[in-house]
Amino acid sequence: MTKRLAGIVLALAAAGLALTPSAGASPPTTDTIDYHPSNRLRDICPFPIQWHGHAQIRDTVWTNHAGVVVKITDHVVEQDTFSANGHTIRSDTYHYTVHWVFDKAGNLLHAYATGVVIRMRLPDGTLFNAAGRVDILASNEAFSITPDTGHSGNIAAFCRALG
C-alpha cells in the first residue's frame, strides 16, 4: 500500500485544482477509482514475486479558500495475488485508509496509510495478518506487507509458501 497510489492520487489532486474555484472554500470532492497495479517485488523474499492488485478507492479531496489542496483521504478496499516459483497466494479482501497532508501552498508534507496492510491465508492454513501504519514517503518499496508500526505477519512463512 505504499507508493502504488501516489501517482494516481497526485494526478487527481492536480485535476481537482484545475476545476476548483478560488473565490471561496468548496466542499470536499469525492471520486471513485478502480485501480489495478502490478509489479515485480524484490524486497520481501530472497526471490522476486509477481504482484497483482485490485483496489477500489474512494478518494476525497479537501481544498482551502484559495482552492489549494490541503488534504486527501483515500478509503481503499483491496485484494492482491502473489506468484513465484509456480505457487500463487491470493489475499483476502482488506481495508485501509491513506492520508495525504499538504501545507497551505499545496506541497505534500505527509503520506501514510493506516489499517490492514495485508490479510491472507497461507497454504499451510496459517493466517498472515499485518496491520498498523505505513509511512508512504519514507518507504522505498512499491508494495509493503509489513507496517512501520503495528503488527506484522510471518514473512518467513510467506516466503516458504512461495518458494
Question: What domain range is 110 assigned to?
Answer: 3-162
Q: pLDDT tens, 147-159?
A: 999 999 999 999 9
Determine the length of the chain. Answer: 163
CA distance 149 to 16: 32
Q: Model confidence over 99-129: pLDDT tens digits? A: 999 998 999 999 999 999 999 999 999 999 9
Coil, helix or strand for 22?
coil
CB atoms < 10 A from the CB of 146, how many?
17
CA dist 77 and 55 (Å) reads 6
Give the closest residue to 136 by CA, choosing from 96, 83, 81. Answer: 96
Element (H, E) at 6: helix 6-19
Query: Does this model's pTM top 0.85?
Result: no
pLDDT in tens, 34-44: 999 999 999 89
Identify which of 99, 97, 104, 98 has the alpha carbon closest to the alpha carbon of residue 69: 104
Question: In the predicted model, what is the mean pLDDT of residues 50-72?
Answer: 95
Could you tell me how far CA 5 lies from the centroid of its own chain? Answer: 6
The total number of structural domains in the chain stands at 1
* C-beta of residue 106 within 8 angstroms of C-beta of residue 68: yes
SS3 58: strand
